[in-house]
Amino acid sequence: MFSSNEQFKQEFIDRVERMSGKSFADSSERDQYQALGNMVREFASQNWISTNEQYRYSGTKQVYYLSIEFLLGRLLKHNLLNLGIEKIVEESFTELGISLDAIEELEADAALGNGGLGRLAACFLDSLASLGLPGHGCGIRYKHGLFEQKIVNGYQVELPEHWLRNGHVWEVRKLDHAVEIPFWGHIESTMENGRLVFHHVNAERITAVPYDMPVVGYKNKTVNTLRLWNAEPSAYPIHKDILKYKRETESVSEFLYPDDTHDEGKILRLKQQYFLVSASIRSIVRSYRKQHISLQHFHEHVSIHINDTHPVLAIPELLRFLIDEEGYGWDEAWEITTKTISYTNHTTLSEALERWPIRIFQPLLPRIYLIVEEINRRFCNELWERYPGDWKRIENMAIIANEEVKMAHLALVGSHSVNGVAQIHTEILKQREMPLFYEVFPNKFNNKTNGITHRRWLLKSNPQLASLISEAISDEWIAKPEKLELLMEYQDDSLFLEQLSKVKERNKHKLVETITAKTGIALDPTSIFDIQVKRLHAYKRQLLNVLHIMHLYNRIKEDSSFSITPRTFIFGAKASPGYYFAKKVIKLINTVAKKVNEDSEVSKYIRVIFLENYRVSLAEEIFPAADVSEQISTASKEASGTGNMKFMMNGAITLGTMDGANVEIFERVGNENIFTFGLSADDVLRLQKQGGYRAMEYYQHDRRIRKVLDQLVNGFFSEEQNEFEAIFDSLVAHNDQYFVLRDFSSYVDVQSKVNEAYRNQNEWWKKSLVNIAKSGHFSSDRTIQQYANEIWRIRSNSNVL
Ligand code: 26V
């Protein structure tokens, strides 16, 4: 399309003028962003149309990835890169005196997710398209993405996020593909031609309008679709109070994870979940029907994947469709449904496993509830036959029990595949969390260790490292990330290691500029950049990190001969708005940061930064600048982690527990290229069974621990005396559920090993190189290829394109 810079510039200038109604000289950066975005989307549209036609005519099996979260971030540069036009655009912009970086900044992050689970969905979409696989995303077009975080006086303050304020250039509204979703009302049944037929009467309908976004594969002409549903009032409302109806309807796609501490919020969340699956299944069937008349072989042509349990109502919804709308009998409908649906579990934390009270579920989704009851009845009967008289077991496994619907049980029973997201996580699911289900369905369980797209997390966000790699081993690694292993040959090449260190230094300088511009705090780019960025949660143990920093502060103060390699501790984390403890930890980090940074004796050695509003676009600046990757969850609690992979791919060394995918990083890089510490998952699970460990003893007997814990409550900080009492209590009075004090000593030791290791620069950069070389395995291309071969059984059709 753009054969030369001249042609591109001409078209761009024309476009800016046509769209903005201004002369190019008068146009703003936003006008230019809008024009470029539109040009790129149109450019992608040609391949979008041909990809869709090709899928339709070849009849290739399609996979649909249903997810309540898609944490996409920005798309402009990503799309330019994947379309292979970033050079022409960059050069042309330079000639026109426009900074592409500045233009990119105008795009709001699409933050339709919280953390790992949502970012994984976004990485998967990129890998599906880049491998030429027919896979599409289905989600919700939230009006407000994840809140914007401000830090005011050390506290987190949440502001509503407005990513759609200036429109979103990548989406296309498809009103003609809108569908109606029924809620409330009641079910009547009649006999028709000897069959029981169900009618949903007096339902309140919500219109689901799809907004499609192109998902561009890396230089392969494949463009898949991400379909996000918007909730709008139906043209035929039955409501008397129209305004109320309009407000309630629109709220369905207004916020990600509405507060569910009360029933109103719970209803809204369940409404969102059914809205997503019902709209998606209707549209999947519609597109299937363009090639096939009967749904008898649906599962041979369609795979539906549910990302955690949020979209698990896809199971009863597909059954409902087959039975009520297509006239199938239960057994046949059940077979088609289970063969179509597969499920990923992303956490073993019991507080995160979804359960809905019947009093909420039944009135909101009366027909779906009847179907879930029937699934439960049949499943319990089967269990009864297999384990006659074993009531306890059946109660533990039932889908409906104690007045609640257990969504994970529904997912396990109604799908053909259940996977964990790292080896250790899958083993914990099989052996500890779901052993009863593993006994009944051993063949459903499988592992798919997570991955990240190396195109965004290395090629796009760390261009200098990407070039250095390509100069050494050619750019083959972009299509085949496992080729990064060729870098192992450079382990003893001191010139190469020197170049690697220079790239890191430049990336650190860049991050320092960003931080200093925002906070006014000067940082030393030659210090070790030790970074922990992730959602704030007790099990991720940001607290352990900050207690260690307090300990270092004490050491520096107590002992004038104590010296360490200068270190900059960087945190980024959002806490869930209602999560009191997590917010206290944010306040503590900021309080410690102030104390440390303002003390000239201490800040010679250590500095502490809390980066406000951690998000995908900021993450892209952070990972390339990291030396140490903090992955310090309580062993057994972090299902996989994916930040650990992003750090590794950018040459940071992991400092972590043997948890989640850290274990597989350890297996690949070897003991000398990772710093591990702390209890193992087996230790933690064993101790937990025994009621934990005695945290009080660690407080009493380890004077380092006693000193830092006392500082939380003795007025050491200028904050109010009881500011950190809850943290102190969580550790001592409530016996530290997360083994922070138990792992403290081991953490201090491993941190001092990091200190030593950094002194030998040659050895450090060798470790860094080995980490990059071994990171290819953690590309989501590998993960997706495994899902494609082993769960979805789909193939690439790229040869036809
Ligand atoms: C959700 C909640 C919600 C209620 C409060 C407690 C709580 C704790 C954890 C969660 C996690 C929800 C699922 C999730 O995001 N899991 C993450 O999925 C990533 C992708 O597979 C994985 O790398 C992370 O280890 C896992 O935590």
Element (H, E) at 760: none
450 pocket-lining for ligand 1 (C-beta < 6 Å): yes
Let me know: does 354 contact 430? Beta carbons within 8 Å.
no
All structural domains of the chain, each given as residue ranges with its CATH number in brackets, are 59-74+109-450+785-792 (3.40.50.2000), 507-767 (3.40.50.2000)
Q: Which of 299, 346, 416, 448 is catalytic?
A: 346
Complete DSSP assignment for 271-301:
HHHHHHHHHHHHHHHHHHTTT-S-STTHHHH
Q: What percent of the chain stands above pLDDT 70?
A: 99
639 pocket-lining for ligand 1 (C-beta < 6 Å): yes
Q: Tell me the mean pLDDT in the region 9-36.
A: 96
- Alpha-carbon gap, residue 281 to 732, rounded angstroms: 50
Q: What residue has token string 């039975």?
A: 323
Is pTM, for the whole model, over 0.85? yes
- Alpha-carbon gap, residue 158 to 146, rounded angstroms: 9
Residue range 513-562, pLDDT digits in tens: 999 999 999 899 999 999 999 999 999 999 999 999 999 999 999 998 99
Complete DSSP assignment for 676-706:
E-S--HHHHHHHHHTT---HHHHHHH-HHHH
Own/partner pairs, 731-735, CB within 8 angstroms, 24+ separation? 731/695, 731/699, 732/695, 732/696, 732/699, 735/692, 735/693, 735/694, 735/695, 735/696
Q: Which of 266, 535, 584, 774 is catalytic?
A: 535
Would you call 535 a catalytic residue per the annotation? yes
Which residue has the CA at smallest separation from atom 15 of ligand 1?
117
Q: Over 60: is that where the pLDDT of 800 sits?
A: no
Would you call 346 a catalytic residue per the annotation? yes
120 pocket-lining for ligand 1 (C-beta < 6 Å): yes
Residue range 272-320, pLDDT digits in tens: 999 999 999 999 999 999 999 899 999 999 999 999 999 999 999 999 9
State the pLDDT at residue 799: 44
Q: Could you tell me the CA-to-CA distances from 789 to 449, 629, 777, 781, 784 in Å, in that order?
A: 14, 32, 16, 12, 9
- Alpha-carbon gap, residue 801 to 788, rounded angstroms: 19
Residues 6+ away with beta carbon under 8 Å from 37: 76, 107, 169, 170
Residue of higher predicted confidence among 63 and 195 = 63
Would you call 508 a catalytic residue per the annotation? no
Helix ranges, 446-539 (H): 454, 463-473, 476-479, 494-519
For residue 413, how far is its CA from the centre of ligand 1 (angstroms)?
22
Mean pLDDT of the chain: 96
For residue 96, how far is its CA from the centre of ligand 1 (angstroms)?
45
Q: Which of 346, 416, 386 is nearest to 121 (CA)?
A: 346
Q: Over 60: is that where the pLDDT of 164 sits?
A: yes
Question: 122: which 2 tokens?
Answer: 């976004």
Task: Name the pLDDT band for 3 (thresholds 50, 70, 90).
Answer: confident
Residue of higher predicted confidence among 260 and 246 = 246
Let me know: does 545 contact 609? Beta carbons within 8 Å.
no
Task: Name the pLDDT band for 187 (thresholds 50, 70, 90).
Answer: very high
Q: Could you tell me the CA-to-CA distances from 490 to 265, 496, 553, 763, 770 in Å, in that order?
A: 56, 7, 38, 13, 9
Q: Which of 143, 504, 637, 646 is catalytic?
A: 646
Atom of ligand 1 nearest to the CA of 641: 23
331 pocket-lining for ligand 1 (C-beta < 6 Å): no
Q: Over 80: is that where the pLDDT of 125 sits?
A: yes
102 pocket-lining for ligand 1 (C-beta < 6 Å): no
Q: Tell me the mean pLDDT in the region 684-690.
A: 96
Question: 509: which 2 tokens?
Answer: 């300088």
For residue 214, how far is its CA from the centre of ligand 1 (angstroms)?
27
For residue 648, the number of C-alpha atoms closer than 13 Å in the C-beta half-sphere is 32
Which residue has the CA at smallest separation from atom 5 of ligand 1?
352
Looking only at the bridges linking them, the beta strands covering 62-66 and 135-140 are parallel
For residue 580, how far is its CA from the centre of ligand 1 (angstroms)?
18
- Alpha-carbon gap, residue 187 to 175, rounded angstroms: 29
For residue 541, how far is its CA from the centre of ligand 1 (angstroms)?
14
- For the beta sheet containing 675-676, the strands, ordered from the edge strand earlier in sequence to the opposite edge, are 606-611, 567-572, 528-533, 628-631, 653-656, 675-676
Q: Over 90: is that where the pLDDT of 220 sits?
A: yes
Task: Name the pLDDT band for 784 (thresholds 50, 70, 90).
Answer: very high
For residue 639, how far is its CA from the centre of ligand 1 (angstroms)?
8
664 pocket-lining for ligand 1 (C-beta < 6 Å): no
- Alpha-carbon gap, residue 326 to 739, rounded angstroms: 54
Task: Name the pLDDT band for 798 (thresholds 50, 70, 90).
Answer: low
State the pLDDT at residue 261: 81
Residue range 690-726, pLDDT digits in tens: 999 999 999 999 999 999 999 999 999 988 889 999 9
- Alpha-carbon gap, residue 4 to 1, rounded angstroms: 9
Q: Over 80: is that where the pLDDT of 409 sits?
A: yes
- Alpha-carbon gap, residue 761 to 161, rounded angstroms: 43
113 pocket-lining for ligand 1 (C-beta < 6 Å): no
- Alpha-carbon gap, residue 613 to 616, rounded angstroms: 10
State the pLDDT at residue 701: 98
Q: Could you tell me the CA-to-CA distances from 436 to 403, 430, 698 in Å, in that order?
A: 21, 9, 37
State the pLDDT at residue 260: 80
